[in-house]
Amino acid sequence: MLYRFKRYIPLVIFLCVIGALLFIPVKVPFSFRAVGLIHPVKKWSLKTDFDGNYVSELRNYSQGIAESIISYRFERGDIASLIVNPAIIDKKSISMNDTVGIISSRFVLEQIYQKENQIAIEIKLLQSSVSAEKDEIIEELRQKVNLATHAFDYASAQFERIELLYNDSIIATTEYETGEANFLTSKSDLEIARAAYNTALTGVKPGEARLIEEKIKTLQNELDFLKQTNDSYKLLSPIGGQLEFNAAMNETGEYISIIDTNSFIIYAPVKLQFLPYLTKDFKMSFIINGTQKTMGATIYEIGNKLENIGSQQVVFIKARVSDPSQIIVNGLKVDCTFSGNDIALREYIKRTLKIYLQ
């Protein structure tokens, strides 16, 4: 019978030790891990949307918002070109308000050219009503008619060939629309030149001179608006930082991006089970995947929105990297460790059972 009780002695000793540990004031560290992603506090990028339009976006990762989104939309058949500032191509960084480049619209440039021509012609007509050099002005306008006629004939012949190729499905719609735009532009130029020449031949009456002056003012206002529109396509850097060109288009469609390297933050998903114990006082450290270097971060925001990652419910936290100079690449995945104050062993066991048995 004594032998039977000896069999339970190890179990009794084990239970006694566990029971003693639960009541002895021994404290142990409480910590858990998560995988995070590093982002700059701010990032500006020029990308394209699903329709092919250029989009300028300034994203604030610290606040989780887009501070500015500008979509550069152009008319159907227009040709929009991105021209990068040659002075920044070989640079690794850029300052705020530096010129990144310009988006050029063929339609806008053509309209600017037409308005400038119209203003020049109206000014000549106005001069013909008060100047003795009317014959010279008429001759100049006649030459403009000849030039416009040749340009129209060439554009018309080109458009006829393009139209035949388009109807036979040999060329793309964009090439057809470009040819059509050239044809319509040359036709408009010819009509303007002829009207100016005919008006000069018949002379301008004093009452008509005032109308011409008003027309010049209207054309000048339209020209100013077009130039302002063209200037708005100039891309200025809203932030200073690291300059990146994407030779191969990535999944975000970014052509150019500027990263604020003065500060970086970490987005990390924390499982719902750990949320009741997490506070901003937790110490946070992280290791960049593939390295053994440990760095620190400070938690400044604990999210209040539940999100699903796979089968897990998580809440995202944000933390500032303590030494941003150590971050050399944006978008790094990092292994994060959250460490709280030491807690009693009894509380540690209680939390662990609650976390993993939920």
**Span 184-239, pLDDT tens digits:** 888 888 888 887 777 666 665 556 667 777 888 888 898 899 888 888 888 889 99
Q: How confident is the model at residue 134 (pLDDT cuts 50, 70, 90)?
A: low
Answer yes or no: do 279 and 228 share one domain.
Answer: no
At residue 1, the pLDDT reads 44
Q: Distance (Å, rounded) from C-alpha 168 to C-alpha 44? A: 44
Q: Distance (Å, rounded) from C-alpha 44 to C-alpha 67? A: 10
Q: Distance (Å, rounded) from C-alpha 336 to C-alpha 34? A: 5
Count the domains in the chain.
2
13 domain-assigned: no
Domain boundary, last residue among 183, 212, 232: 232
pLDDT averaged over the chain? 80
At residue 338, the pLDDT reads 92
Spell out the residues 6+ positions from residue 64 whose beta carbon is closer than 8 angstroms to its own.
318
Structural domain boundaries, residue 33 = 29-40+260-357
- Which residues on adjacent β-strands are paired with residue 39? 265
16 domain-assigned: no
Answer yes or no: do 154 and 269 share one domain.
Answer: no
Answer yes or no: do 219 and 281 share one domain.
Answer: no
Residues comprising the chain, all counted: 358
Spell out the residues 6+ positions from residue 358 whose beta carbon is closer than 8 angstroms to its own.
273
Domain boundary, last residue among 189, 214, 232: 232
- Which residues on adjacent β-strands are paired with residue 48? 54
Q: Distance (Å, rounded) from C-alpha 51 to C-alpha 44? A: 20
| Phi, psi (deg, nearest 5) at residue 137 | -65, -45
At residue 208, the pLDDT reads 66
pLDDT in tens, 241-290: 888 887 655 555 778 899 988 889 999 999 888 888 888 889 999 987 77
At residue 2, the pLDDT reads 44
73 domain-assigned: no
284 domain-assigned: yes
Q: Distance (Å, rounded) from C-alpha 277 to C-alpha 270? A: 11
Answer yes or no: do 160 and 202 share one domain.
Answer: yes
Q: How confident is the model at residue 325 (pLDDT cuts 50, 70, 90)?
A: confident
Q: Are 115 and 222 in contact (CB under 8 A)?
A: yes
Answer yes or no: do 350 and 264 share one domain.
Answer: yes
